[in-house]
Amino acid sequence: MDDNSSGSDVLYSSQLLQTLDYSNAVTSPSKLAKHLVLRPLRCDDYSRGFLDLLSQLTQVGDIDEKLFNERFKQMKNNGNYYVTVVEDVTTSRVICSATLFTEYKFIHNAAMRGRIEDVVVDGEYRGHGLGLLIIETLKLMARSLDCYKLTLDCRDEMIEWYSRLGFIAVPTRSNMLTIRFDD
Amino acid sequence: MDDNSSGSDVLYSSQLLQTLDYSNAVTSPSKLAKHLVLRPLRCDDYSRGFLDLLSQLTQVGDIDEKLFNERFKQMKNNGNYYVTVVEDVTTSRVICSATLFTEYKFIHNAAMRGRIEDVVVDGEYRGHGLGLLIIETLKLMARSLDCYKLTLDCRDEMIEWYSRLGFIAVPTRSNMLTIRFDD
């Protein structure tokens, strides 16, 4: 879990993960099988199938290593992106990922709002609680980063699943509207 | 509209506003009354009632000028925040505001997603198309900044209003879920 254990650049300090208190959480990293490691995204996860994993979620497109590295650096320099992954160290593949990012506000005493984005578990690893673990982890991180609230957008069929983790569709005010520019 | 016209720091270059093409938009700044000016947020809008305006939207809290300046600088240094306002220059008050911010993605060819947040029109200025103007402006900015999509969260009663501007509640996938940490 050391930031330089792989000789690679990490998106955020893994210390943030190590200090989370899972005592009231529905799961914790201690329940992970030994060959699975929860950690921040690393720049060299490009070669560990990170984009293949994202392609199970949505269209990724043709991202070469240079473009990946540029985007990674932008996120890292920005300082508000906490892409968190699970790696299967027996295969050196990233098999679960979710992003927390934090948004600056003037409202609520110049607060931070947390957002969860791009949640995906590899099809071969579903049903073992990895989704619960990564969302619970991002919840604890958002709280630890002093977010006043944490939100995510989801499909109808995921509402019940997220409700187990405390996410609520607040009546009359839980609509996410969209304009696409790429259609 | 010059960035230094008030001797004040602006959140983003007003050139971005000046280059927008409203020819296919439902409204444009040319329809604004002469005493109303559309422009980026300025650091000295603290003294023009910007926070009073936000308090018509939600809880703002006790933000002194120092804290305001710090948050303004964080947003400016971040580079992804486009808080846009309308000032009534006869009263030197900010009477309309909305925020566009852009989020880095790996998906969709390492794209940007735009988000609209914290939309508010002063109660005394409602019904004159300022809301339409500011949202149309942020839409054009998001497109100009190469966002692949633009989203916002809203209450049920605003869905129809936003639909006039092209925002759609995509069936089965338009839910915004929340956890509050400050309750």
In a domain, B42, yes or no: yes
Q: Rounded to the nearest 5°, which phi and psi values hold at A22?
A: -90, 10
- Report d(CA B77, CA B73) in Å as an integer: 6
In a domain, A135, yes or no: yes
Q: Tell me how many domains chain A contains.
A: 1
Q: What is the pLDDT of residues B13-33, one digit of tens each?
A: 999 999 999 999 999 999 999
Q: What is the pLDDT of residue A182?
A: 85
In a domain, B100, yes or no: yes
In a domain, A7, yes or no: no
Q: Is the pLDDT of residue A3 over 50?
A: no
Q: What is the pLDDT of residue A8?
A: 62
In a domain, A36, yes or no: yes
Dihedral of the alpha carbons of A76, A131, A149, B126, in degrees to the nearest 10: 90
In a domain, A122, yes or no: yes
Q: What percent of chain B has pLDDT over 90?
A: 95
Q: Could B60 and A109 be called an inter-chain contact, meaning their C-beta atoms sit closer than 8 Å?
A: yes
Dig out the tokens for B171 from the structure. 């069936």
Handedness of CA B106, B109, B111, B113 (dihedral sign): negative
ipTM of the complex: 0.91
The closest of A11, A111, A175 to B173, measured between CA atoms, is A175
Q: Are A63 and A51 in contact (CB under 8 A)?
A: yes
Q: What is the pLDDT of residues B67-126, one digit of tens each?
A: 999 999 999 999 999 999 999 999 999 999 999 999 999 999 999 999 999 999 999 999
Of A59, A70, A168, the CB nearest to B178: A168
CATH of the domain at B20: 3.40.630.30
Q: Is B139 exposed, middle or buried (0-12, 13-18, 19+ CB in 10 A)?
A: buried
What's the pLDDT band for B182 if we cut at 50, 70, 90?
confident
List the beta bridge partners of residue A104: A112
Compute the mean pLDDT over every residue in chain A, rounded to the nearest whole number: 93
Q: Is the pLDDT of residue A77 over 90?
A: yes
Q: Could A179 and B149 be called an inter-chain contact, meaning their C-beta atoms sit closer than 8 Å?
A: yes
Contacts of B180 in chain A (CB under 8 A): 148-149
Compute the mean pLDDT over every residue in chain B, rounded to the nearest whole number: 93
Mean pLDDT, residues A111-128 taken together: 96
Q: Is the pLDDT of residue A2 over 70?
A: no
How many other CB atoms sit within 10 Å of the CB of residue B65? 12
Domain that holds residue B84: 15-163
What's the pLDDT band for B8 if we cut at 50, 70, 90?
low
- Report d(CA A159, CA A105) in Å as an integer: 26
In a domain, A175, yes or no: no
Q: Rounded to the nearest 5°, which phi and psi values hold at A87?
A: -110, 140
In a domain, B98, yes or no: yes
Contacts of A151 in chain B (CB under 8 A): 153, 176-179
Cα B156 from chain centre:
20
